[in-house]
Every structure is written in structure tokens, then in C-alpha cells.
Structure 1
Amino acid sequence: MPPGYTLRPARAEDIGAIRKLVLGALLDPTQLRWSQFWVMAQEGKIIACGQLRNFPDAQELGSVVVVPALRRQGLGSLMVQHLIEQATQPLYLECLGQRLARFYTRFGFVPVSWQELPPSLKQKFGLSALAARVLRVPVYLMRYVAVTDVRIYRDRRQSSFVELVPSSSNQSSAFSSSSLSGSGSSETDGV
């Protein structure tokens, strides 16, 4: 954690600052439960937040936002890594656009289909996918895979690949990140 910053579980009095961050990033404000949030503060002022939503058979990482003036300094990455460490169940997320999907692959998230989701997330993520189709925004469903190493390399065709080496086995799961390439100029995010 950078000097002068603190990371702590949210308190009831933080909900106003959390709501302001989430609304400012144009994220879904309907499931904001302060008790599921972690906040990052600088000199007592909340400058970032992230949530682990609890479901019967999984958790969802969501609502990760950093104030605009402090973005691209690694604070969102610190928050994501911390939330991963706090997770106690299989961890999933949904994100809008290719740029965010590429961001989350750095932490060990891999794309999954709707059919691969646990039952408790299918309804929630299904509604999001429907809204995305109507709005014509690509939605990525992703699952966290504990990794010991992430390698990015290029093959002879100059295609980018990401290889995730799971911590629980010696087998690797490789997938082409070419499906995650392209411009994301219409995306809005708070990381």
C-alpha cells in the first residue's frame, strides 16, 4: 500500500462516498451493500472502493472504482488483488468491454460462458447480458483461476496469448487473448 493510503472494510457511514464513486463510474448502483465493500482512503477521504458480493455458491467481484484523479497509478490493481485474497468461494465477475476484460486477465480471471456459471449467478448475469445486447455493449463473464504464473507471449503469427499456470496442478490453461483485442473506446470503467 502506498504511504498515506489505508485499505479497510467499509463502514455504514461510507455508503454515501461508495455510492458517489459507483454512480460517477456509471456502474450498477442497485446492489450496494456497504458490509460487502472494502474502501481505500487517503488522509481520511475515500478514493477507491470494491465489493465482494456473496451468493450461495460463489462470490462476485464488482464495483471496483478509483477516483478519476488517481486512476492509472495501480490503486485499482491493489484493490482487485486484495479482494481476490479476501474471497472465500469461487470468484466471478462481469465486465463491459474488451479493455476491462484484458485488465482482469492479469489477475488470473479467464472468460467463461453463461452455461459455466454457478446457478446463483446465472440469473443475475443473464439479465446483464440481455441489457448489454439491447445497448450493444460486449459483456465478459469471467472466473478467477488461482495462478502461480502468468505468461504473455507472441507466436509466429504475432498473435498474443496469455498462459495461466494454475497453482493446483502442473497443467496449464492457455487461451488466445486475440478475442480480447481491439479498441474499447466506448467503454466506461472506474479502474
Structure 2
Amino acid sequence: MLQKSLPSGCVLRRATSADKWSIRLLVLSAKLEPTQLRWQQFWVIECNGDLVACGQLRNFAVAQELGSLVVKSAWRGRGLGTFLTQHLIDTATQPLYLECLGQRLAQFYSRFGFVPISYEDLPPSLQRKFGFSQLVKRLIRVPVVFMKYRVDTPDI
């Protein structure tokens, strides 16, 4: 069951310019790709005055990417990542994609309706963005998984 509320003392909010270094440090601590981090695209969770989670929606031609989702290690296991992921899905205005490393993360995102897709099924704008990931996936077998959010539609 997906988390519907945040722990006491925690708030979800849009990032502000004052958050940009905290966001950068969170992303670097998770060893995620730190380029193109525009604080304006981020949502953050602040708990007791401390920024403990972040995630962004990046806009591309005919698509959005859910990316840079990080929860501070001391705050993991409390539903913050689940809450933030669902909020980003609900906020998206275009078809939503992501890239993640490994089956554990792919299983996490599959709970929300993301399904693995091939690199060739990505929109051209995301193929350009994920081109390097595809190269290392093929050359040195890095377990990169490309995923698309699929809204369940009832049978007609």
C-alpha cells in the first residue's frame, strides 16, 4: 500500500533557490548524475527544518523524466521516497519516463505503474539524454533499466 501522508514534522514543498546546495549534496551523496540540476524543477521534503528528500521532473520534447530522487539514508524506510514518487507522478503533465540502476530500484518503481521498456522505445529527446547510459549498458553490462509510467486503463 502506498503511503498517503508524511511523518509528523515533515512537509512536501517546491524547492526554492535556498535549497540548491542541499539538493546538489543529496544528489552527489547518492552517486547520481549531478549535471542539469535546476532547483526550479525539484520538489523537496523537509523534516524538522532539514531537507531530507528531493526529486525532480525534467521536461523534454513530448515527455518528462522523473529523476534525481534521493532520500537521506537516515530517513529511509519511512515512506518518504514513496510519497515523493507518487507526488511527482501526480504532478506530471506529459508521458513520464525514468532510468534507474538495477532490479531493486526497478521493482520499487514498478509498484507505481512503471514498466521496463527498451532504449528504442524511448522518445528521441530521451534517447539523446540516455545515450551514454545505453552505451555503458551494452559495453560493460551496467544494469541500467529504462522505464515508462503506464496508467492503468480499464478494458472497454
CA RMSD of aligned residues (A): 1.3
CA distance in 1, matches of 2:122, 2:154: 22
State the alpha-carbon separation in 2 of the partners of residues 42 and 90 from structure 1.
Answer: 30
Q: Is the 8 A contact 2:119 2:134 kept in 1?
A: no
How many angstroms does 1:135 deviate by? 4.7
Q: How does 1:127-146 map to 2 (within 5 A)?
A: 127-146=132-151
SS where residue 130 of structure 2 aligns? helix
1:71 aligns with 2:76: yes
Q: Does 1:81 find its partner at 2:66?
A: no
2: CA distance between counterparts of 1:135 and 1:67? 29
Find out whether 1:99 has 2:84 as its counterpart. no
Q: Sequence identity, in percent?
A: 60
Aligned to 1:46: 51
Bigger proportion of residues as helix: 2
| Mapped partners of 1:110, 1:53: distance in 2 | 19
What amino acid is the match of 2:62?
D
How many Å separate the matches in 1 of 2:81 and 2:140? 26
- Select the structure of larger CA radius of gyration: 1
Q: Distance in 2 between matches of 1:64 and 1:132?
A: 21
Tell me, in whole angstroms, the C-alpha distance in 1 between the residues paired with 2:135 and 2:78: 33
Q: TM-score, normalised on structure 1?
A: 0.76
Query: Tell me, what secondary structure is at the counterpart of 2:31?
Result: coil
Over 3 Å counting, the alpha-carbon distance change for 1:134 and 1:19 in structure 2 is farther
Letter in 1 for 2:154: S
Shift of 1:49: 0.2
Q: Deviations over 1:119-145 (max 9, x none)?
A: 110111122121344453211000001
- Partner residue, 1:150: none
What corresponds to 2:154 in structure 1?
169
TM-score between both structures, scaled by the size of structure 2: 0.92
SS, match of residue 130 in structure 1: helix
1:6 corresponds to which of 4, 11, 36: 11
Distance in 2 (alpha carbons) for counterparts of 1:134 and 1:119: 21
* Unpaired stretches in structure 2, ≥5 consecutive residues: 1-5
SS in 2 for 1:15: helix
Which residue is equivalent to 1:17? 22
Distance in 1 (CA, whole Å) between partners of 2:139 and 2:34 is 19
Secondary structure of the structure 2 residue equivalent to 1:122: helix
